[in-house]
Amino acid sequence: MTWNASLYENKHSFVWQYGENLLEILSPQKGDRILDLGCGTGQLTERIANMGATAIGVDNAPTMIAQAQQNYPDVQFEIADATNFTFSEPFDAVFSNAVLHWIKPPEAAINCIWQVLKPGGRFIAEFGGKGNVRAIVDAIASTLKENNELSQLSANIWYFPSIGEYATLLEKQGFEVNNAMLFDRPTPLEGEEGMRNWLEMFAKGIFSAISSEKQAEILHKVEEKLRSELHQNNTWFVDYKRIRIVAKKV
């Protein structure tokens, strides 16, 4: 999946804006070494650095890293795969916002996070949990079936675990899970094209094998299916359900 950094910054700034209150839980301290896993275009990495920590942002999308480096030239950013990364110097904390629902297998990411943390190091994350964007997922699936694009139904690009499922994976790795919660976060989108922009930004990988002409037709049908449920008072909403994790390496 190719990430459009411009569309991300211009129409989906809520991603990092909602992540800002997660920084209160992270509570970066001067001298801390913190990894921002899946940093996107770098806004939260830069905020961590401004709070006194040494912050390093990693993302597997070259487009995102290029934009992050342009945005914040004084912050360190690197291209890295969340399921296969290492650092020679360990971290006091790993922070991740709106990323881990993209990462499969989750066990590989959890192992990498464990390996780069110091003993006692903390892992603070928020991402899509069980039931996340359920209305959107259902609308996409029914539209693909109606348009005889059955092969695309297997293109499941997301991982939305329950609290129990994800906490169990963390504990199996050796983490102590200090807090875990699942909560609704209906999120407004910008403008009348909000849902189309969201689908173009975050669901593009599902339609990658479909011609551009057919994609446009299918996206329009998905949008119309969602209108009665997710379009209110002239505003589009996304039916987000987030999982928040606070854990420690013991």
CA 40 to CA 33: how far, in whole Å?
A: 19
- Please determine, for residue 155, whether its predicted confidence score (pLDDT) is greater than 80: no
The reply to whether 66 falls in a domain is yes
Q: Mean pLDDT, to the nearest integer, of 65-89?
A: 97
- What sign has the CA pseudo-torsion 186, 108, 8, 154? negative
Amino acid 156: pLDDT: 67
- Please determine, for residue 46, whether its predicted confidence score (pLDDT) is greater than 70: yes
The reply to whether 23 falls in a domain is yes
The reply to whether 90 falls in a domain is yes
In the numeric block, which tokens belong to residue 99?
Answer: 């990323």
Beta carbons within 10 angstroms of residue 147's beta carbon: 14
Amino acid 4: pLDDT: 85
Could you tell me the CATH number of the domain that includes residue 169? 3.40.50.150
As separate numbers, helices (DSSP H) first and strands (DSSP E) second, the chain gives 10, 8
The reply to whether 152 falls in a domain is no
**In the chain, % of residues over pLDDT 70:** 97
User: Is 139:220 a contact under the CB 8 Å cutoff?
Assistant: no
The reply to whether 77 falls in a domain is yes
Q: Mean pLDDT, to the nearest integer, of 78-98?
A: 97
CA 118 to CA 250: how far, in whole Å?
A: 9
Amino acid 11: pLDDT: 85
The reply to whether 207 falls in a domain is no
- SS3 of 52-109: the string is CCEEEEEECCHHHHHHHHHHCCCCEEEECECCECCCCCCEEEEEEECCHHHCCCHHHH
The reply to whether 153 falls in a domain is no
- Please determine, for residue 15, whether its predicted confidence score (pLDDT) is greater than 80: yes
Q: Mean pLDDT, to the nearest integer, of 95-122?
A: 97
- Please determine, for residue 153, whether its predicted confidence score (pLDDT) is greater than 80: no
Give the pLDDT band (50/70/90) at residue 2.
confident
- CA 29 vs CA 20, 25, 53, 175: distances in Å: 16, 12, 6, 22
The residues, ordered by sequence, that sit 6+ positions from 77 with a Cβ below 8 Å of its Cβ are: 39, 42, 45, 56, 57, 58, 59, 65, 68, 69
- Please determine, for residue 241, whether its predicted confidence score (pLDDT) is greater than 80: yes
Tell me the pLDDT tens digit for each residue of 81-90: 999 999 999 9
Amino acid 33: pLDDT: 98
Amino acid 152: pLDDT: 62
Number of structural domains in the chain:
1
Amino acid of residue 70: Q
The reply to whether 242 falls in a domain is yes
Structural domain harbouring 15: 5-132+158-191+236-249
Amino acid of residue 127: F
- Please determine, for residue 154, whether its predicted confidence score (pLDDT) is greater than 80: no
Q: Mean pLDDT, to the nearest integer, of 7-18?
A: 88
Amino acid 189: pLDDT: 95
In the numeric block, which tokens belong to residue 71?
Answer: 């945005």
In the numeric block, which tokens belong to residue 51?
Answer: 């709070």
How long is the chain?
250
Tell me the pLDDT tens digit for each residue of 193-231: 999 999 988 988 888 788 888 889 999 999 999 999 999
Amino acid of residue 35: L
Amino acid 1: pLDDT: 66
Q: What is the pTM of this model?
A: 0.93
Provide the mean pLDDT of the chain. 94
Amino acid 227: pLDDT: 97
- Which residue is associated with the tokens 């881990």? 100
In the numeric block, which tokens belong to residue 18?
Answer: 């909602």
